[in-house]
Every structure is written in C-alpha cells, then in structure tokens.
Amino acid sequence: MASIRNIIHHGLQDEDNRLLMASSPIFLMHVAAFGALFTGFSWVALLALFITYVVRVFALTAGFHRYFSHRSFKTSRGFQFVMAWVGTSAAQLGPMWWAANHRHHHQHSDQQEDIHSPVVKDAFWAHIGWVLCRAYGSIQYDRVKDLSKYPELRFIDRFHVLPVLSLILLLYTVGTGLNIYYPALGTSGMQLVMWGFFLSTILVYHVTFCVNSVTHIVGSKRFNNDDESRNSWWVALLTFGEGWHNNHHRWPLSARQGMYWWEFDLSYLLLRVLEKLGLVWDIKVYPKSIYREAAAAAVKETVL
C-alpha cells in the first residue's frame, strides 16, 4: 500500500511539474507586463499598445478564427502567410495549433470532450487553465490536414517564437530610433517593448480568452444550439465581433458574426475593406434561412 501511495504521490507531483512548466511562459508574460510601470508613459507608447492590440486581435479573429479555423473566406497564399505570422506574434502559438483546437471545440461544444468548456469544468479552466496545461500543447494534425500541406505554416507553428521575437525587435528598433532622433517624444526601445508587446499581449490574451469563458456563461441566446454559447455585446466590442458567439455557433461558416447592423462586428467590416483591396474574396455570410430562424425566435420571445 505504501508503494502505491508513493506512485500516486509522485505521479501527482509530475503532473504539477508539467503544469508548472507549461504555465511558466504565460506567468512570466504577466510579470513582465509590470515593466511598463518602470519604463514610464509616453503617447508613443500608448499608440504602440493600441496598434499592436488592434492588428493582432484582427489577425486572431479574422485570421486564426474565421479563416484558418472555419475557412469563411478565401485569400492568396501570400496574405495567408501574413495573417499567420502576425497572429502568431500574439504569443498564442501557431495557426495550425489554434485551428485544430478550435475545430475540436465546435465538434464537442460544452460536451465532455470539449477541452475548454466552462460548463463541463469551470470559468477559470475555460478562460486560461486549459492553456496552462501541457497536455494540450501538441498539434493535432489530423484536424488540420487542409493547413498542414503548406510548409510555411508548418514552419511558423514549429518556430512560433520567431514572430514574437520579430515584433519585439521591431518595437525596440522603432523606440530606440525615436529616442535618438526625436528625444522630445519621451520614448525608448524598452518602453515600446513593454507597452507594445508585453502589456498589449496580456490584453489580447484576456479579451480573446473571454470568448471561451464569458460567452459560454453569460449573455443572450438567440438560437437554441446544443451548447451554452451566448451573445455578449461587450465581448464583441473588445474582440471585434467575436462576442456574437451564439450566432457563430449556429452557423460557424459565416465570416460575419454580428447578424444585424447593431451587432457591431469590426472584423467583418475590415474584411470587406480587404475585399475591396483584392486581398480577400468569397466572403461567406449567414444564409437567408438563418435570418428567418432568427426572426421566428424573436417573434416567439415577444409572444412569451
């Protein structure tokens, strides 16, 4: 009996160590973000935070989610690479890892197999706990066969630290240059790194993680899907449209997640701009049958 207890004890210790090893980078990211307090404030730093937030949230929502995970529009191989590189600079691993897990989520949404359901487990696990678990760090290639045929995407997933380092280097170079040639701006290389990468990345983490946690707990349900996906207007504002999650789970193929003009979906609007520029095309939207279903649901709710 003592030997069995020792085996169990050491097994739990090993699991704790694996969890600690996996969570260390994200933990260090949060600690490093406090460096913004020591590098001071400047309007340039605030602008860097804003730009890196907007660009990377769009790369995740329109790129990693609507394109790589759901193929809701088409683009060139070149722009596909750009979306993959910029999205990976958000330090959420690569597009194939991201898409593989998200596709699995849609197949098993809020069921026992769902790896980040707050219904099956809890809000903390859905928000960030599953990311800290080393068990989900590998890429499930069988779920992304359409993506794994591109060697450049495999390269980005394998060396996902490179886009991160490239963003840090860019911010440091710009900040250092501004400090040399325009010292009155009060910025520096380290200041832009702290504001434009570390602080920005933490914000990007938690607003995008809210889609897994918050929008499966609170919000409105337009459609009676086989899960607890919900629409949340404030999550939609922070994530450029991802908060219209109940809509999305009803018809995941749509590049537009807010169904009506008052359901603000910035990612979709930006995709339309990119369409005008010829960078994307064949953008999928909700079919008329879904709008009829939504109208019937609204009438039923009014009657009740």
Which tens digit of pLDDT belongs to each residue from 172-225? 999 999 999 999 999 999 999 999 999 999 999 999 999 999 999 999 999 999
- Residue of 174, 168, 144 whose CA lies nearest to 157: 144
Residue 3's pLDDT is what?
40
What residues in the chain have per-residue pLDDT under 50? Answer: 1-22
Q: Per DSSP, which regions of the chain are E strands?
A: 74-75, 280-281
CB crowding 69-98: b at 16 or more within 10 Å, else e: bbbbbebeeebbbebbbbbbbbbbbbbbbb
**DSSP per residue, 216-260:** GTSSB-SS--SS---B-HHHHHHTTSTTBHHHHHH-TT-S--S-S
Predicted TM-score (pTM) of this structure = 0.90
Structure token pair of residue 151: 């060697």
Q: Is 140 helix (H, G, I), strand (E, B) or coil?
A: coil
Residue 238's pLDDT is what?
97
- Sign of CA pseudo-dihedral 282, 285, 290, 295: negative
Residue 27's pLDDT is what?
83
Which amino acid belongs to residue 86? V
Residues 3-33 have pLDDT tens digits of 434 432 333 344 444 444 445 688 888 989 9
H or E segment at 40?
none
Residue 276's pLDDT is what?
98
